[in-house]
Structure 1
Amino acid sequence: MTFEDHPLVVAARSLAAGLLAPDAARVDVEGVPAGHLDAIRDAGLLGVSAPVEYGGAGAPDAVAREVAEILAGACCSTWFVQTQHHTPVRMLARSAAPVRERLLRRLATGEALAGIAYAHVRAFPRRPVRAAREGDGWRFDGTVPWFTGWGLNDLMLLAGVTDTGELVFAFADAREQPGLRASPPMRLAALTAARTVSLGLDGLWLPDESVLLRTPHKVFAATDRARAANASPAVFGVARAAVELVAESGEPDTARALRERLDAVRESAYALAEHPEPLERVAERLACRTRAYDVLRTATTAAVVARGGRAMDLREPAQRLSREGMFLLIQGQTSDARRAHLDALAGSG
């Protein structure tokens, strides 16, 4: 069995064709419904990479990437909400902290859905969220600029930075509570449907048993930069959806040429992602990520051009894919990724 025939990939294709893609225009306007996430959970996709002994599928990375591509290409907003969940699952699976036994099975089976509230640690040495020891727990103060899936997630993995530069990651309930208030949902150029808010923290206290990880910022940052250098499967999923739209619009030759470019950069990106040393070849990964963006931008532009004036209708997928592509340009962006992309754009001019 190849990974394309894996039961989870088959399930993802069925879900995409039967629910996500047909509903994507409505979701883009009205927001991701809880029912979409229930369907993803029922298909076993929330535990695609989670350990089997905790109720997950333990699938290979190639399967997880293919599932992500399929979901993102069908409905990027739904993909973005559920993709937050996989990071806490992976971190729990690697952890020896007591919180692993309390939460990993719940997350691996999809009984609970988790989001992430720590992208702000990339702003270091600025500290948008500060963590301080208080009694037998930790106090968090500041602002989480972005939290996706508000009203859909059960839990959040929050991080703050101490005065000594240590990162403290801890789980909290994803609801308003003493010390935590959410903004109104943000109106964004793309993926407003993903229910993104900012979070105000004013003395949110979390006990030691909720802590997943404590690590120096420099240690986390080194791993984060290397991981973020990889091209996201969502880029290939949205690009592929755009290419198929070009073909459906009566432009098979253009679609064929774009598909060849897409397949070539995808093959390179995934070969780098499978490299046995994930912290090596970072410059090459960044260059490949930038090439993936080039194909994404070209494919979504071609979809708009092929659809003509119809593309401006909010019910049309071409403009939605174009906006989703714009979002993916900055999703998971580090300073290294930004610099590599801008340098490439300047050189191409």
Structure 2
Amino acid sequence: MMSRTRRLVGALALLGGFAAFAPATAQTTVLKYSNWLPAGQAMRVEVIEPWIAEVEKATQGRVKIDTLPKVVGTLPAQFDVARDGQADLVVFIPGYTPNRFDILEVLQMPFISDNPEVLAPIADRFYRKHLASYGEFKGVHPLSVYVVSPGQLFNAKRPLRSIADFKGLKFRSPQPSATQALTLLGAVPVNKPVSETYELLSSGVLDGTLMPPESIPAFKLNDQVNYATIVPGAIYNTVLVLGINEDKWKSLRAEDRDAIMRISGEAFAARIGQAYAKGDRAAFDGLRKAGKTVEVLPEPALAEMKKVLQPVEKDWIEKARKKGVADPQKLLAQVRAEVAAANGGK
């Protein structure tokens, strides 16, 4: 009996030894995503939701993303939400907090580009090569830096065919360079996030909005605007960032960080640009079918606008210099050169 007991104890000890060398089951990390994008919106449906599924697949299930039932905090506060760990993953808009991400505004200057398929991937590449070293996103790791469609002009009052037509119109502005541009054009800028646009237009607080065309139907604004004015080259672009809490990012396995970055960065930005370009075409078609006026700003007015808006660029150069950029003009020239190269030298 004693012999059998000893053999059993020995066998159990041996099994325990094998177990000590068996690989541990990889633990799943669940990232909390604070979403503010409405159902059906292009960025959400065509890029972010597929990317969420890709993250789980690319990490073999070790990293999953849980979209929270409602946005954490306010839309302008999303950077802080991620930095402070209230959520792990956010999309934030640097322009919603003026005087905080001044150097990044180089990508938002007037007449940089009106094509998101070109500028969106350039934005991520340019940020990593030229802007990341300034540390404006401390505490949040940028998974992708990109632009959506450039803001175009939509209003309920009148067609915009000359600079004089802007006078007195109250326009929503999403970021500092757009606010300055509207002021220079004689309009009245109202700084509000996109989520408040419908209420402000429907109540008459606003006459119009600067907004990516795709966002007009996405935020149910078709009935609130009668006139769309397309500015060739665009008055401004808006940078957005898909960001993750820095400490949470560092806690992931190196191989999972590598896998996530392979499907983020410039690749993610390129998909955003494609989705918005398609959404813009559909948005303008929808407005035309609804009997709205869609016009390109006439060439004489465009030429005058370029002169009127020159202070936007000059003032950014001064801001950037104060934030430690040795040669802001060179930085701006580099952006324009990359866009020209992507456009075949045009």
Computing the radius of gyration from Cα coordinates, the structure with the larger value is 2
TM-score bracket for the superposition, by shorter chain length = under 0.3
Q: Which has the higher helix share?
A: 1
TM-score by length of 1: 0.24
Q: Which has the higher contact order (CA 8 A, sep 6+)?
A: 2
TM-score by length of 2: 0.24
